[in-house]
């Protein structure tokens, strides 16, 4: 008996089981950076752009704190150095006047005693200046503040050139290292100043405490 041809319904169901040409999977061409939110530069450095932006913000805030602290120290050391210097000069001038006054008898003896006491006070003030070295610290803090202000200008210049682009993580690390270099140079100069004043009481070497700014980062 000849085979019965399939009905229209059976042919339709069979056609539905065949793969449609339009169902062929299309390869995903979306770049990985669009899925992960990173750029090729970020993957090369191992740091997302968001992290570098946050670190740059922290660096700017830390620079502001350090600059404010060193400005306060400079003002304090300048005030103390000026007070000690003026007190010493005033007492010395007073002693000269007391010893030059023409008096006789008991008055002359009292003036001499006062001059002697003022001379002792001058000795104490000179020892305090030699120990604390306020003038040397004032010069040192002034140099450090100048270096921090110059670094602030470089940091602001770098931020102005970003133009809404994420900062380069390597550049942020270099700026952080430069800030650490300025603070380390200040601490080293302070140690040298303390060692100098301890070795030679009564004098403060203010010619060797200048802290040159660190070499610019490459």
Residue 92 has a pLDDT of 94
Q: Please classify residue 146 by burial: count the beta carbons closer than 10 Å to its beta carbon, then call 0-12 exposed, 13-18 middle and 19+ buried.
A: middle
- Measured between alpha carbons, how far is 204 from 134 in angstroms, rounded to an integer? 9
Domain residue extents for the chain: 49-199
Nearest alpha carbon to residue 47 among 59, 56, 35, 39: 39
Three-state DSSP state, 210: coil
- Measured between alpha carbons, how far is 71 from 92 in angstroms, rounded to an integer? 32
pLDDT, tens digit (0-9, with 9 covering 90-100), for 121-157: 999 999 999 899 999 999 999 999 999 999 999 999 9
Residue 109 has a pLDDT of 86
The percentage of residues in the chain with a pLDDT greater than 70, rounded to a whole number, is: 67
CA-based diameter of the chain, in Å?
A: 163
Confidence band, pLDDT 50/70/90 cuts, at residue 50: low
Length of the chain: 218
pTM over the 0.75 mark: no
Residue 213 has pLDDT above 50, yes or no: no
């Amino acid at each position: 008996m000849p085979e019965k041809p399939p009905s229209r319904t059976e042919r339709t169901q069979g056609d539905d089981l065949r793969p449609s040409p339009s169902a062929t999977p299309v390869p995903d061409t979306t770049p990985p950076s669009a899925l992960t939110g990173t750029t090729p530069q970020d993957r090369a450095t191992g740091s997302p752009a968001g992290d570098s932006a946050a670190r740059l913000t922290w660096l700017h805030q830390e620079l502001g704190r350090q600059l404010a602290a060193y400005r306060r120290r400079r003002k304090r050391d300048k005030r103390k150095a000026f007070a000690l210097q003026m007190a010493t000069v005033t007492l010395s001038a007073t002693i000269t006047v007391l010893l030059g006054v023409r008096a006789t008898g008991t008055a002359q003896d009292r003036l001499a005693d006062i001059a002697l006491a003022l001379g002792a006070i001058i000795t104490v003030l000179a020892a305090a200046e030699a120990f604390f070295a306020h003038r040397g610290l004032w010069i040192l803090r002034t140099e450090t503040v100048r270096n921090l202000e110059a670094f602030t200008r470089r940091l602001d210049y770098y931020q102005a050139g970003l133009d809404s682009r994420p900062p380069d993580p390597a550049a942020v690390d270099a700026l952080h290292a430069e800030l650490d270099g300025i603070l380390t140079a200040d601490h080293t100069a302070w140690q040298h100043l303390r060692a100098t004043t301890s070795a030679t009481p009564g004098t403060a070497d203010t010619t060797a405490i200048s802290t040159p700014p660190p070499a610019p980062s490459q």
